[in-house]
Amino acid sequence: MLLYGHQIQSRLLLGTAQYPSPAILVDAIRASGTQIVTVSLRREAADGSGAGFWDMLRDTGTRILPNTAGCHSVQEAVTTAHMAREVFGTNWIKLEVIGHSDSLQPDVFALVESARILCDDGFQVFPYTTDDLVVGEKLVQAGCEVLMPWGAPIGSGQGLRNPDALRAMRAHFPDIPLIVDAGIGRPSDAVQAMELGMDAVLLNTAVAKAGDPVQMAQAMAAAIDAGRAGFSASPMERRDMAVPSTPILGLAELA
| Residues designated catalytic | 94
* Residues in the chain, total: 255
Give the residue ranges of DSSP H helices in the chain: 22-32, 51-59, 74-88, 108-120, 133-142, 163-172, 187-195, 205-208, 213-232
91/123 Cα distance (integer angstroms): 5
- In this structure, are residues 85 and 91 in contact, taking their beta carbons and an 8 Å threshold? yes
CA–centroid distance for 215 within its chain: 19
Contacts of 110 (CB under 8 A, 6+ apart): 73, 74, 77, 97, 99
Is 250 flagged in the annotation as binding? no
3-state SS assignment for residue 52: helix
Q: From residue 175, how far is each of 24, 72, 105, 147, 178 by CA, in Å?
A: 36, 30, 25, 11, 9
Instruction: Give the whole-angstrom CA distance, residue 209 versus residue 225.
Output: 22
* Phi, psi angle pair for 182, to nearest 5°: 90, 135
The answer to whether the annotation marks 182 as part of a ligand binding site is: yes
Q: Which of 232, 172, 225, 229 is nearest to 201 (CA)?
A: 225
- Is 204 annotated in a binding site? The answer is yes
Q: Roughly how many angstroms between the first and final C-alpha of the chain, as a whole number?
A: 60
Please state the residue numbers annotated as binding site for 1-deoxy-D-xylulose 5-phosphate. Answer: 155, 182-183, 204-205
Please state the residue numbers annotated as binding site. Answer: 155, 182-183, 204-205
